Amino acid sequence: MADLVPDDYASTLEELKQHVHHARFRAQRAAHTELLRLYWRIGRTSLDRQAQQAWGSKVLQRLAANLRAEFPTMKGFSRRNLLYMRAFAEAWSSEDEIVQRGVAHLPWGHVIELLSKLDDSELRDWYAGQDAQHGWTRPVLVHQIRTRLHERESAAPSNFPTALDGRDSDLAQQLTKDPYTRDFLALDSDACEREPEERLVTRIIETLRELGPGFAFVGRQVHFDVDGDDFYVDLLFFHVEQLRYVVIEL
């Protein structure tokens, strides 16, 4: 006779699943912090060599190529990304300063937006704190910067609480699926598949129907190399009537 299922089995299973989810997210955040430390060190080293030995753009291009050759599974070693690492090291003066501020909780793509769109260090910290506190997506962060949220709220730049509560926030999901962190951990993409992407791929027929007639599925995580910079498209479709590609970013 089959073993009887205990009355509290379902609740116990749910509790253990939550432990697994939380442990995975804590591990992911720890790995992400180490990735930011690594990027800061690369940027700092590059700046120091540039000052001491006049490292130019050709040297940086060679460095990017050599790092990609040594670590082919990592997406972060394009020349463009190395320039962002330099800017990162200039914007925050030490590794400890990064860990103590809101930027430590943000995916690298968010950090790039802060570096490329804000020159004022206090404003960068203010938006980083707001981003971490509210769990913005990257497009929301860009919108808030462009519409000058700090002026609309009549708030002077200051340090904001940076606790990130809840693994289900948009920011937590972005951090978990961040390709830079995943590649830093040397994980295959299949090991950390994104649930929305899996659902869409599993139900590809329904997805195509939702998009409308004429769409053909090309692939997921499709890689593009544009002048040495790496780009990965979540889902790529082709419209056979309009003869153009359609990109869906999740």
Give the model confidence (pLDDT) of 78-134 as tens digits.
999 999 999 999 999 888 888 888 888 888 999 999 999 999 999 999 999 998 888
Check pLDDT > 50 for residue 189.
no
Two structure tokens written together for 227: 């002048």
Sequence-distant (6+) residues with CB within 8 A of 173 are none
- Read off the DSSP letter of residue 193: -
Please state the pTM of the whole predicted model.
0.60
122-157 pLDDT, tens digit each: 999 999 999 888 888 888 888 889 988 888 775 444
Q: Which of 42-51, 117-126, 159-168, 210-219 has the lowest mean pLDDT?
A: 159-168
Q: Count CB neighbours of 201 within 10 A.
A: 15
Entry field: residues in the chain: 250
DSSP one-letter string for 158-182: ---------TTSHHHHHHHH-HHHH
- The pLDDT of residue 128: 92
